[in-house]
Structure 1
Amino acid sequence: MSEATTLRVLSGLPAEPAPLSESTLIVIDAQNTYTQGVMELEGVAAALDETAALLDRARSAGIPIIHIQHDAGEGSPYDVRAEIGAIVDQVSPRGDEPVIVKNFPNAFVQTDLDSRLREAGATPNLVLAGFMTHMCVNSTARGAFSLGYAPTVVAAATATRALPGADGGEQVSASALQSASLAAIADMFGIVVPDTKSIPDSREVVR
């Protein structure tokens, strides 16, 4: 068997992230529901710390920041009218940072995210952080790629949870699902970097 490679490599797509100064940060579903109860994610506290650090860098760089918030209706774990569906205080919007409410895993579906980005003259470069890695982060990265954007996912600013195995099989651990989800994104749809420090501030060579 030949050594594993990615479709990005075979297609000649970029392997390194664009500078933060030439990107838009999108924070996906950093909501309270993922910090407690049945939807609590493995490693969520560390992921929120990393997201907060990423937000600090983005704000200092003066780049556009967009927050995404999922709404599944009243009484759900994603009820944006209730505390459970609110954005975590640690990474909540500041100033005029917009919040786009979505109803599907892909943040581009039936929202004005694409039109906002294009009307603002944003570059194609998007930096993605948030939850859950296998669901809304993965779906939004794929959606962005299909629309011509170039997403970069910050692995340490994402997290997920264990899932039941298909057809009653063995449970898939959160760590296994995290690794597989990031690998699936990196295969074609986006660049995956380990942490915030891996994204350069500008086009200067990082030493």
Structure 2
Amino acid sequence: MLAMPAIGQELGDRSAPQRGGAHYAEAVSELNTLRALEGMPAAPAPLADSALVLIDCQNTYTRGVMELEGVDAALDEVAALLDRARSAGIPVIHIQHNGGAGSPYDIDAEIGAIVDRVAPREGEPVVVKSYPNAFVQTDLDDRLKAVGAPNLVLAGFMTHMCVNSTARGGFNLGYAPTVVAGATATRALPGTDGQPVPAAAMQSASLAAMADLFAVVVPGSADLPD
């Protein structure tokens, strides 16, 4: 288990600076991730040594009640990433969430289908899941072990939910996840204080939470080395 510093130790036992105070910028510059403190890799693994896992790239998120902010741009980045993976000949696994008949995640209906431009090709398996973590009650772990892929490139939806949960789940099983930020998106949520939390804030916080320990986070597919 990681040893967590006592409150204040990470800033040299100084009192926490107030936002906008004289020492605030200095304190922010000293912030570290747990990955950095533990000496874990800061750079993504080469694409050639990875498997691509596309999470819930379903029509669910392109329209209606579950439409995500920035989803079209994210799907463009998913498509670019998928093209690179196919050209590199690495394993590609598609994840599809099944919420049952009549739900926005009905995989037997058009709404729950994988978006056409990133749909599986022959030979690319689809793992159907029922939980946010794609490793729970699926054969994803077995499939990845079968192709000898310890490094995972993750993309898809939603950033704060299934991408986050799958990155954490993979990390806990010993995989090394990389999340392509530009190939993810999420939505605004009601805050616990009654105020809405904007999608951009959810996206930023979710990516930062993953980057703290569970994954390397890169801006786009072009930031992955060959």
Provide TM-score, normalisation by structure 1: 0.95
1:21-170 alignment to 2 at 5 Å?
A: 21-122=48-149, 124-167=150-193, 169-170=194-195
Q: Percent identity?
A: 74
CA distance in 1, matches of 2:58, 2:102: 15
Residue in 2 that maps onto 1:177: 202
SS at match of 1:73: coil
C-alpha distance in structure 2 between counterparts of 1:38 and 1:117, whole Å: 33
SS at match of 2:189: coil
Residues 64-110 of structure 1: CA distance to partner in whole angstroms, max 9, x if unpaired?
Answer: 00000000111111000100000000100012100000000000000
1:37-75 CA-to-partner distances (Å, cap 9, x unmatched) read 010000000000000000000000000000000001111
Q: Which runs of 4+ in 1 moved over 3 A?
A: none
Point out where structure 1 has 5 or more consecutive residues left out of the alignment: 202-207
User: Equivalents in 2 of 1:79, 1:37: separation in Å?
Assistant: 14
- Would you say how many aligned residue pairs link Structure 1 and Structure 2? 199
**Structure 2: unaligned runs, 5 residues or longer:** 1-15, 17-26
Q: Secondary structure at the match of 2:95?
A: strand
Which of 193, 200, 206 aligns to 2:218? It is: 193
SS in 2 for 1:187: helix
Aligned to 2:7: none
- Measure, in 2, the Cα distance between the counterparts of 1:48 and 1:26: 14
Q: Return the alpha-carbon distance in structure 2 between the equivalents of residues 172 and 144 of structure 1.
A: 27
TM-score, normalised by the number of residues in structure 2: 0.87
The one of the two structures with greater contact order (alpha-carbon pairs below 8 A, sep at least 6) is: 1
3-state secondary structure, aligned to 2:79: helix
The alpha carbon displacement at 1:119 in A equals 1.9
Q: CA separation in 1, counterparts of 2:155 and 2:148? A: 21
RMSD of equivalent CA atoms: 0.7
Give the 3-state SS of the residue equivalent to 2:196 in structure 1.
Answer: coil
Bigger Rg, which one: 2
- Deviation, 1:140, is 0.1
